[in-house]
Structure 1
Amino acid sequence: MQSIATLAPRRIARLRTWRQQLGQTMSPTAWALFVLWVGFMIAMPHIVSMGAEMTLTVSLSVSVLLQGAVVLAILWPHWGAAKTVRALAIVAVLSWGMEAIGASTGFPFGSYDYTARLQPQLFHVPLLIPVAWWMMLGPSWAVAQVLASRRGLLVFALFSGLAITAWDLFLDPQMVAWQLWVWETPGGYFGIPWVNYAGWLLTGVLITLVVRPAQLPVLPLIMVYVTTWLLESIGLAFFFGLPGPAAVGFVGMGVFVWAVVRRLMRSQADAEIASASPRRG
């Protein structure tokens, strides 16, 4: 049995390896956008506290656009222009379409309406919404690639849908509290109907099946997923007065964070053992 003294240096070495891999897989542009996004997210509670309605909506828009740009900058060098633009277009069209259907019919999310606070809108759906789907689907695909890449496309899509739905455990209560959309009949999860999460899962799975993402730069996208998890947990708990959704979201996304980190560490340990084993020849 390995001692703690032996395990700790190995884990530190693995973290250093991840840092080196991040340096190799993220472009300077992606790093710059990532730092800018994180910095803005840290400052956002103080900006929102200024109290003006426009301050809140503009800050939210900037944060979503920055995170969307981070995901775009991560994927572009690995996928190339054509594949990245195709994926972005599919996510934008399908997510907007599902939201437009949802807002007008109540399927698949339940009956809700966007308020006029988020602009511009197309058929009563803010154009920022597809960007929000894009900014979290990329990281969710990376989660699925780590946990389910060898189990077929359908299972991969299911894990992707679950990973992004876990994020909505934070998002929906926060956006309702900010009066960006309202539910016709409040539900059991901090005022959010449970059917909303079935709609999120369905939409995430559907988009993933159409995009069929592969050859993802896993570590950078996982870093975005983990960072979102931390920022949302801290922001909702300590700055935005939503400790309940903060706690549930911390656990919901945290399950995926824990599983991914555990799987990555195990894979790296297996690789170390394989490289250290004597070769026969």
Structure 2
Amino acid sequence: MRAVWALLAALVAAQILYPLTGGGPRAALVVATVLLGFGASLCHAAVTRGVRVALALCAVAVAGLGVEVLGVHTGFPFGAYAYADTLGPRAAGVPMVIGLAWAWMAWPAWLAAARVLPSARGPARVAVAGVALATWDLFLDPQMIAAGHWRWADPHPALPGVPGVPLGNYAGWLLVAALVATLLWVAVPPPDRAPCAADAPMHALYLWTYASSVLAHAAFLSLPASAAWGALGMGLVAVPLAVRLWRAPVPAEAT
């Protein structure tokens, strides 16, 4: 578990440096953050839930890349968009790191849902995990659009104050996030679906992503509208998660 915390600490450091840099170094920090986040999620899944779940996360990464390739070449399910040549090696027009990003946040989103709804049946858990993952995009896309990493051919209609991202993209994210959550529901055995004390690093990752994104967008990246939309959207899961952790931490013997 020390390795998971070390990867999380390195991720936090990279994200703190992000608004303090620009150009090539900032793009390199995006890639580094995704690699660190994926490494932390994969390591945590393997240590706490076993190889089967870790392999499921790898499958999420491959599927995420596949969905992005589909999106770039057909416009479904996110709308017509294209990537710039700024995020490292590409496969069929999509930076390979993008697939890892899906898996990076899918795991903490899943575990956040497990903590918020510890006894929920499949559909409810999948729905909350899907929302937990999809609402992250309220921060991600505006930030990456502002940095010039990708763009839409026709970003209309859009959320007020976030003109570069079409509403249809968020619907596409919700659809894919629900499919990812369903895959995790199938992959995680019933005894391992309950939250446990060892999930703390992933809870911390989810809450850090939420709080740091609100702060960065509002204070450092000149994106106040996405700060507000993200605070509302991702807060649907992040705030109940924080409240539950504060009121009733998971006991060490929980499984």
The equivalent position to 1:227 in structure 2, one of 196, 208, 212, is 208
**Cα offset, 1:149, TM superposition:** 4.2
Which residue identity does 2:180 align to in structure 1? I
8 A Cα contact 1:90 1:211, kept in partner = no
Matches within 5 A, 1:1-281: 27-48=1-22, 52=23, 54-80=24-50, 82-187=51-156, 188-189=158-159, 190=162, 191-212=164-185, 213=188, 214-215=192-193, 217-265=198-246, 267=248
Q: What is the rounded CA distance, in whole Å, between the counterparts of 1:44 and 1:156 in structure 2? A: 33
Q: Give the 3-state SS of the residue equivalent to 2:151 in structure 1.
A: strand
* Structure 1: segments with no counterpart, 5+ residues: 1-26, 272-281
The Cα of 1:29 is off from its aligned counterpart by 1.2
Q: How far did 1:162 drift?
A: 0.5
Give the aligned residue type for 1:91.
Answer: V
Aligned AA (1:39):
A
Secondary structure at 2:135 match in 1 = helix
Q: In structure 1, what residue type is equivalent to 2:39?
A: A
Task: Output the CA distance in 2 between the equivalents of 1:180 and 1:268.
Answer: 39
The 8 Å contact of residues 78 and 173 in structure 2, kept in 1 or not, is answered as yes
Per-residue Cα deviation, 1:87-124 (whole angstroms, up to 9, x for no partner) = 12211121111111111111111111112222211011
Q: Answer yes or no: is the 8 Å Cα contact 1:90–1:207 preserved in 2.
A: no
- Normalising by structure 2, report the TM-score: 0.86
Q: Residues 129 and 178 of structure 2 are in contact (CA less than 8 Å); yes or no, is this contact kept in structure 1?
A: yes
CA distance in 1, matches of 2:218, 2:239: 20
Superimposed CA distance per residue, residues 19-78 of structure 1 (whole angstroms, 9 cap, x where no aligned partner): xxxxxxxx1111222212112211221122xxx3x2222111011111222222322211
- Contact kept in structure 1, 2:8 and 2:40, CA below 8 Å: yes
Show CA shifts across 1:189-232 (max 9, x none). 21211111111111111122123234454332111100011111
Q: How many residues align?
A: 239
SS at match of 1:113: strand
SS in 2 for 1:182: strand
Contact 1:145-1:218 at 8 Å conserved across structures: no
**Max radius of gyration: which structure?**
1
User: Percentage identity across aligned positions?
Assistant: 33
Q: Any idea what the Cα deviations from partners look like across 1:118-169, whole Å, max 9, x if unmatched?
A: 2211011110111111111111101211233433222211111111111110
CA distance in 1, matches of 2:129, 2:216: 24
Alpha-carbon spacing, 1:66–1:83, altered in 2? closer, same or farther (3 Å): same
SS of residue paired to 1:130: helix
Q: Indicate the larger mover: 151-160 or 100-109.
A: 151-160
Give me the whole-angstrom Cα distance separating, in 2, the residues matched to 1:263 and 1:79: 22
Distance 1:207 1:166 in 2: 14
Deviation at 1:265, TM superposition (A): 4.7
- Name the aligned partner's letter for residue 231 of structure 1: S
Aligned letter for 1:208? A
Indicate conservation of the 8 Å contact 1:147/1:263, yes or no: yes
Q: Is the 8 A contact 2:45 2:54 kept in 1?
A: no
Q: 1:257 to 1:177 in 2, by over 3 A?
A: same
